[in-house]
């Protein structure tokens, strides 16, 4: 049975890394001692060691240890033996590029689908969907494929932003970009606002946090989903 938390972000305004999620994660990882961390997204270009240390400091607050997947000689075995897995944010294209480069995609999907607890934030959430075509990131590298886990039957647009009334910004809104996507693609997209997350228990997907999320489907008007509802496609 899948057991996942898919969060829009690791950090909300005025809060430390993962701080807003720690009470939830303490319960979610109740039977876990060590988390396998996937640092491939490298926010700001930091090293895997630096990123792993950030995750380790956060989880130490709830009594959990963290080991980076790059610390293991065999990443496939590391995934297969993991008590739990966390993939952090950063650049989604580079994250997916390294997943393909290390040839761990199938093992990654398999352990998640078999019930290894999984936490994803930002880029680590984007990979839970059908593909990464709705990431906000720059394509700094070209992965072999945009296809990812398909653990949920829709894509995530993390850090979803609503238009700001009175703004003089002339660029496209997130909603406009997603409408462009739906000219050529059928995959639904969930705009996940900062501080919101999805709880996935097997095939039941529930929106959590204080905010609504915006669901986009091809040839349909976007709808707002209230926190606490099951996301059904």
Residue 213 to residues 20, 115, 196: CA-CA distances in angstroms?
18, 26, 8
CB atoms within 10 A of CB 174: 19
Q: What amino acid positions are annotated as catalytic residues?
A: 122, 137, 159
Q: What is the DSSP string of 13-42?
A: TT--TTGGGHHHHHHHTTT-SEEEEE-TT-
Residue 162 to residue 173: CA distance in whole angstroms: 7
Which has the closest alpha carbon to 197: 3, 2, 7, 20?
A: 7
Kindly state the helix (H) or strand (E) to which residue 55 belongs, with its residue range.
helix 48-60
Q: Radius of gyration of the chain from Cα atoms?
A: 17
């Amino acid at each position: 049975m899948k057991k996942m938390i898919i969060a829009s972000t690791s950090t909300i305004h005025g809060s430390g890394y993962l701080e807003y999620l720690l009470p939830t994660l303490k319960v979610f990882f109740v039977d876990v001692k060590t988390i396998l961390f996937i640092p491939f997204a490298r926010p700001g270009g930091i090293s895997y060691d630096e990123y792993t240390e950030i995750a380790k400091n956060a989880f130490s607050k709830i009594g959990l240890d963290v080991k980076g997947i790059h610390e293991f000689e065999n990443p496939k075995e590391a995934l297969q033996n993991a008590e739990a897995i966390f993939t952090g944010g950063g650049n989604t294209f580079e994250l997916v590029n390294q997943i393909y480069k290390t040839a761990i995609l199938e093992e990654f999907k398999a352990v998640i689908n078999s019930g290894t607890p999984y936490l994803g934030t930002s880029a680590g959430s984007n990979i839970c969907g059908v593909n990464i075509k709705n990431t906000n990131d720059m394509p700094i590298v070209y992965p072999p494929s945009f296809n990812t886990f398909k653990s949920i039957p829709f894509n995530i647009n993390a850090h979803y932003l609503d238009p700001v009334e009175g703004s003089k910004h002339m660029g496209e809104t997130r909603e406009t970009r997603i409408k462009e996507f739906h000219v050529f693609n059928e995959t639904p997209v969930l705009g996940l606002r900062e501080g919101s997350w999805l709880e996935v228990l097997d095939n039941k997907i529930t929106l959590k946090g204080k905010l609504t999320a915006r669901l986009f489907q091809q040839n349909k008007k976007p709808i707002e989903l209230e926190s606490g509802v099951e996301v059904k496609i």
